[in-house]
Amino acid sequence: MAENKNVKDTEEEEEDIIELIDDDDNVIKFRLLDVTEYKGEKYALLLAAEPNDAIAEDEVAIFRYKEEEQMLEPIEDDALLEEVFEYYQKEYEDEEGDVGEGEDGEEA
């Protein structure tokens, strides 16, 4: 029975993989870290799913997420990329801070 569970886990992991094609027609595999909304637009934050030359393992790739078209659009504006990443970090830290707190702000 443990074998069935492992197969299922592997299938679930594969479903989380997003394959993108770079300018040189190389397939780069990513894992979806999160989708965040910033200034009325959605952004997908991706991590490299396997080692490659295009993106470091600890680097986050950010794309504009066009939900209706199910499309990821590259962002050329470095300032916008930085803003989105800083916004995501702040939201993530705020979420982490709320996990151990009760209604009155005291730790549970």
55 occurs within a structural domain: yes
- For the chain, the farthest-separated pair of C-alpha atoms sits apart, in whole angstroms, at 54
Predicted confidence (pLDDT) per residue in 4-44, tens digit: 433 334 344 556 789 998 888 988 999 999 999 999 999 99
The CA distance from 17 to 31, in Å, is: 5
Question: Higher confidence at residue 2 or residue 33?
Answer: 33
Name the domain count of the chain.
1
* pTM, two decimal places: 0.71
75 occurs within a structural domain: yes
Sheet containing strand 60-66, strands side by side: 17-21, 27-38, 41-48, 60-66, 71-74
27 occurs within a structural domain: yes
Range 68-90 burial, b when 16+ CB lie within 10 A, else e: eeeebeeeeeeebbeebbeebee
Q: Please compute, for residue 13, the number of CA atoms within 13 A of its CA located in the half-sphere on the CB side.
A: 8
105 has a pLDDT exceeding 70: no
Predicted confidence (pLDDT) per residue in 45-66, tens digit: 999 998 888 788 889 999 999 9
- How far is Cα of residue 9 from the mean position of the Cα atoms in its chain? 20
5 occurs within a structural domain: no
Is the Cβ–Cβ distance between 58 and 51 less than 8 Å? no
The whole domain housing 74 covers: 14-99
